[in-house]
Amino acid sequence: MSRPTAARELLRAAAARLAAAGVASPETDAAVLLAHVLGTERSRLFLVEDVAPSAQETYDGLLDRRAAREPLQHLTGVTWFRHVELQVGPGVFVPRPETELLAGWAIARAEEVVAEQGGCVVVDLCTGSGAVAKAVADEVPGARVHAVELDSAAHAWAERNLAGTEVDLRLGDMGTAFDDLAGTVDIVVCNPPYIPLDAWESVATEARDHDPHLALFSGDDGLDAMRVLETRAAWLLRPGGVVGAEHADLQGESAPAVFAGAGRWRDVRDHPDLAGRARFLTARLAR
C-alpha cells in the first residue's frame, strides 16, 4: 500500500523532472501545481508535511502534462493579471506578465481622463481572454470599457471572464469593430498578434502548440495587425485621444514607425519592459 510522501521531497523531485523537460521555471511550476492539487496557496506549502497517495497520483498526472509543455495555466485553469483572476484554457491566448505594463499605461491614462472630464471611453481591440479590459474596468470605475475578439473560442473565454462587469464585449474583427463609437473614444489599447510567420521555430513550445495561432502570427514582418490597428484607432479616437499597443522586442523601431509614418499621430514613442526590452508603443491622434 502506498504511503504519504514528504512534500519537500515531492517538490524537489518534481522540479528536477520539469527542469529536465526544459520547463523555464521548474521550481515555481512544481509548487504551483502542488498547491493546486492540495487546494491551498503556494505561499502556504511550507505548512504541508506529507502528501497523500491519491494527491500524489493527481500531481503526477499534472507533472506529465507540464513536462510535455502544456501551459501551466491550462493545468490550473486560472491565471492572475494585475488584480483580477482570469479563467483560461485551450482556445485562448494566455496573458503574459509583460502585458500588465500596457494595461498599467491604459489604466493611468484612463484615470487622468476621468479626473479631467468625469468619464472615459476605452476600447480594447483583440481582447483575447478579456485581460486588459477587465483590469481597466476593475481599476477605473469611471471608465466605460468596450472590447472585441474575432475568434469565437477566445470570445467564449472572454465572456466568462467579463461576466458581472459592465464591459461591452463583442464578437468581431478589430478592423471593423465599433463603428458606433467612431470619433468618441479616449483610449484604444491592443495586444495584437505580432510574430512574423518565419519566426515559427523561435516561439516557445507552450505558445506555439497551445495558443491560438490567430493570436500569435501577423504576416511576413509581424506588423500586419499593427497596420490595421493604426487605421482603426485613428477612426475610433477623438482628436487628442491615445493608443497603446504591445509588440515584439525586436519591433521597437518598426512598430512605432507604422504610426509615425501615417502622418496623423504625434508623441509617438516606445516603452521598455522591466528587463529593458522594447515592449509597447503609444501615440496621440493629432488634433
pLDDT average, residue stretch 16-36:
94
Q: What is the pLDDT of residues 41-50, one digit of tens each?
A: 888 998 888 8
User: Given this model, what pLDDT does residue 220 score?
Assistant: 75
Question: Which residues are annotated as part of the binding site for S-adenosyl-L-methionine?
Answer: 149, 191
pLDDT tier for residue 1 given thresholds of 50, 70 and 90: very low
Instruction: Using the structure block, give the residue that is written with the C-alpha cell 498599467.
Output: 104
Of 119, 169, 165, 126, nearest to 144 by C-alpha is 119
State the CATH class of domain 91-285.
alpha beta
pLDDT score for 93: 86
Tens digits of per-residue pLDDT, 141-176? 999 999 999 999 999 999 999 999 999 999 999 999
Determine the Cα angle at 57 with ends 67 and 29, to 5°.
35
* Chain segment 190-241, per-residue pLDDT in tens: 999 866 666 656 656 666 666 666 666 556 788 999 999 999 999 999 999 9
Q: Where in the chain is the domain with CATH 3.40.50.150?
A: 91-285
Query: H helices within 130-269, ranges in order?
Result: 131-139, 152-162, 205-210, 224-236, 254-260
**Which part of the chain has CATH 1.10.8.10?**
5-68
Region 29-37: mean pLDDT is 95
**Cα 232 from Cα 185, distance rounded (Å):** 11
H-helix or E-strand spanning residue 269: strand 265-272
Q: Return the pLDDT at 195.
A: 66
Give the C-alpha separation, 281 to 219, whole Å. Answer: 19
**Which one is the CATH code of 5-68: 1.20.1250.20, 3.40.640.10, 1.10.8.10, 3.90.105.10?**
1.10.8.10
Question: Would you place residue 249 in the very low, low, confident or very high pLDDT band (cuts 50, 70, 90)?
Answer: confident
The pLDDT of 10-36, averaged and rounded, is 94
The pLDDT of residue 126 is above 50? yes
Binding site for substrate: what residues are annotated?
191-194
Across 93-110, average pLDDT = 95
pLDDT value at residue 206: 63
- Residues counted in the chain: 287
* DSSP per-residue string spanning 77-145: SEEEETTEEEE--TTSPPPPTTHHHHHHHHHHHHHHHHHHHS-EEEEEES-TTTHHHHHHHHH-TTEEE
Q: What's the rounded mean pLDDT across residues 265-269?
A: 97
Predicted local confidence at residue 115, as pLDDT: 97
* pLDDT at residue 248 in the model: 87
Which residues belong to the annotated binding site?
149, 191-194
Q: Which residue has the cell 507533472?
A: 63
The predicted structure's pLDDT at residue 109: 98
Q: Average pLDDT of 27-48?
A: 92
Average pLDDT, the chain: 91
